[in-house]
Amino acid sequence: MPAKHAQKPSNNQGQSKRRRSSLTQASTTWGSSTQGMAIAPAETFKPLQLIPHEPQSLVPDDTELTPLAFFSLFWNDYILSQIAQATNAYADHKRQGKLGEGWSHPVSTTELRKFLGITIMMGVIRLSNRSQYWRQERMVGKNALSFRRYRQIKRYIHISMPEATANSRGSRTESPWWTKLEPLHSHLRHQSQTYFRPGTHVAVDEMMVRFTRRSKHTVRIPSKPIPVGYKVIALCHDG
């Protein structure tokens, strides 16, 4: 009788043998490499010990308990003077290119306070047209700043100096998108750390800042209450 031919192993059987061989070789290598190493027992681990403390307000005791007083802690004379200097420099830069002819005179910190107040009021009382805020007889603050001057400041207001913005654009490495917010960004963060101390239990969470105009840095998350805007990381505390 003719001899029966031996069955060839299937591809699956060959792969299984190679896999077992590689696992055996890896375990041998791992065992030889760990010889002589001192592995600390799990009992020596000690979690970070924190002293529990409640959140604390570091606002000076002589501060008036008014919205304007708390607003002035963050938007103080220093940062307003920086913004006024950058705004005037940007307006002069545009006037050299015959694009800033509507700039009548340099802006002052007093005018910036009026500008910010009127802008906040516009966010609370919504009208269809910006010029209507100066047409309403009972509108508070319309006599503080003319509509023409408000439009001038809105057109040329700048946070950073024009030279810093131009240098960031001309550099080979792209600067962070918040470069134009300096020094306001660092100032507000410093003031927040100065006047408030969070408690022991805090959480790091994501926040959305609404922005629906053109920007390559906005994100879209339909499940969020604010679906479109800037996503920032916040340190949160209960209450």
**Series of mean pLDDT values for 10-residue runs along the chain (239 residues):** 50 58 54 54 75 89 92 95 94 71 83 93 85 77 83 92 65 69 93 91 89 87 90 83
Q: Is residue 233 part of a domain?
A: yes
Do 174 and 137 belong to one domain? Answer: yes
Q: For residue 157, what pLDDT is reported?
A: 93
Q: For residue 176, what pLDDT is reported?
A: 75
Do 125 and 220 belong to one domain? Answer: no
Do 109 and 161 belong to one domain? Answer: yes
Do 79 and 166 belong to one domain? Answer: yes
Do 158 and 178 belong to one domain? Answer: yes
Q: Which H helix or E strand runs over 95?
A: helix 77-96
Q: For residue 180, what pLDDT is reported?
A: 85
Do 66 and 101 belong to one domain? Answer: yes
Rounded to a whole number of angstroms, the distance between the first and last alpha carbons of the chain is 92
User: Residue 118 has which token pair?
Assistant: 């009127």
Q: Is residue 150 part of a domain?
A: yes
**DSSP one-letter code for 143:** T
Q: How many domains does the chain have?
A: 2
The answer to whether residues 63 and 70 touch, using CB atoms and an 8 Å cutoff, is yes
The residue range of the domain holding 206 is 198-239
- Pairing verdict, β 228-236 and 219-220: antiparallel
Do 77 and 142 belong to one domain? Answer: yes
Do 80 and 121 belong to one domain? Answer: yes
Do 124 and 220 belong to one domain? Answer: no
Do 161 and 231 belong to one domain? Answer: no
Count of beta carbons in the 10 Å neighbourhood of residue 123 = 7
CA 226 to CA 60: how far, in whole Å?
35
Q: Is residue 9 part of a domain?
A: no
The answer to whether residues 212 and 229 touch, using CB atoms and an 8 Å cutoff, is yes
The answer to whether residues 180 and 218 touch, using CB atoms and an 8 Å cutoff, is no
Do 163 and 215 belong to one domain? Answer: no
Do 100 and 212 belong to one domain? Answer: no
Torsion on CA atoms 235, 123, 154, 188, rounded to nearest 10: -20
Q: Is residue 162 part of a domain?
A: yes
Residue 98 phi, psi dihedral angles, 5° rounding: 60, 35
Q: For residue 143, what pLDDT is reported?
A: 78
Q: For residue 60, what pLDDT is reported?
A: 93
Secondary structure of the chain: what % helix, strand, coil (to 5)? 45, 10, 45
